[in-house]
Structure 1
Amino acid sequence: MTGIDCLLYLHQELDRYTEDQIHHISQPGVWSLGQMYDHILLVAHEYMDEVELCASLSTDTTDGKTPFGEELFRQNAFPPIKIKLPDEMNAPPDNTDSRDRLRQRLLELIERMEDGSKRLGHINPQRKTRHGGFGWLNAKEWYQLIEMHTRHHFRQKKELEHVLLS
């Protein structure tokens, strides 16, 4: 499954929920489906910004990934655990977008990724930017990280759906 496939799946899944279900927060500290979607969209755009930054660089680096980053990419997946960010990076995502606005945002991101994917093969793999936890990543790795991150949230999606349906 590609990153675009993951986003198309999420786009299709929006039809399953009412507006109230999208915004429902079951308990303090637990996101709504809308917040999960917002988070996925924001992070994917951040990663696409890094793809574009890698493309704009004029110097190479031989710096590599952290051991955690190496393992993450070897597995092509985030570990099956809940990841808690530091408080300063953990502001709750937006919970105000309607289902239609989330659909529109997903389609805009898919279009950006389709455009970006056409350039990936032309970006020098030694042009890298640093991820705080994973180390130095090139454009293809940042792009791949979108799929890995989005897929990581599928388990959260199932948990949120279970609460909505019980």
Structure 2
Amino acid sequence: MRNSSVFSLLKDISAKYHDFLREVPDDQFQLTPPIGGWSYSEVYSHIFDISILTLKEVEHCIKGEGKIKPTAFIVKVILFFGSFPPNAKYKVPKALVGRERKITKEAAAAFIQKFLEELDIVYSQLHLADPALKTLHPRLGYLNASQWFRFMEIHLKHHLKQLKRIEKSF
């Protein structure tokens, strides 16, 4: 998928997160859902924190700070189809455990805004990235700038589904 298409999708998905945030009842935002796991608040904290970290990896690739490494075949399949394998549960990689936290709806909205601002800056430079240079993703292996961009889209979509599961549990 072209970077311009992924960029548009990232904007659209972020708008869905923003719309969903407005719909979540204030008294439920930080509550652990009946199904257990993360609250809405922790999902927002996780997804936009990780998305901003992902943009930093894209910047490293743009600046030529990557390595020339292969991308695993299964990762290429995930990136091609635009989703993680169905019905699979994923744990946060050890390096990122504990970064999620309970935040307010206002902080979540600010996180979205910060992400969108940084996304615009990084996207404007994305064409400068050497596709051969990659940085290490903690679970997927080495990704180049465009692959990191695509991963962000897949990750954001994945957690939108989680928000819907939480919603159904209340």
State the TM bucket, normalised to the shorter chain.
0.7 to 0.9
Please tell me whether residue 13 in structure 1 is matched to residue 20 in structure 2.
yes
Choose the corresponding residue for 1:74, options 80, 87, 91.
80
Q: Distance in 1 between matches of 2:25 and 2:157?
A: 23
Please tell me whether residue 162 in structure 1 is matched to residue 130 in structure 2.
no
Unaligned runs of 5+ in 1: none
Q: Distance in 2 between matches of 1:59 and 1:44?
A: 19
Aligned to 1:48: 55
Q: TM-score, normalised by structure 1?
A: 0.87
Q: Distance in 2 between matches of 1:14 and 1:37?
A: 9
Q: TM-score, normalised by structure 2?
A: 0.85
Choose the corresponding residue for 1:107, options 98, 113, 129.
113
Shift of 1:130: 1.7
Amino acid at match of 2:77: E
Q: Distance in 1 between matches of 2:30 and 2:81?
A: 33
Aligned to 1:127: 133
Identity %: 24
Shift of 1:124: 1.3
Q: How many equivalent pairs are there?
A: 162
Aligned to 1:32: 39
Aligned to 1:153: 159
Unaligned runs of 5+ in 2: 1-7
Aligned to 2:3: none
Contact 1:65–1:136, Cα closer than 8 Å, also in 2: yes
Q: Distance in 2 between matches of 1:22 and 1:53?
A: 34
Shift of 1:67: 2.7
Cα–Cα, structure 1 residues 6 and 52, in superposed 2: closer, same or farther, change >3 Å? same
Contact 1:47–1:142, Cα closer than 8 Å, also in 2: yes
Amino acid at match of 1:15: R
Q: RMSD across aligned C-alpha pairs, in angstroms?
A: 2.1
Q: Secondary structure at the match of 1:130?
A: strand
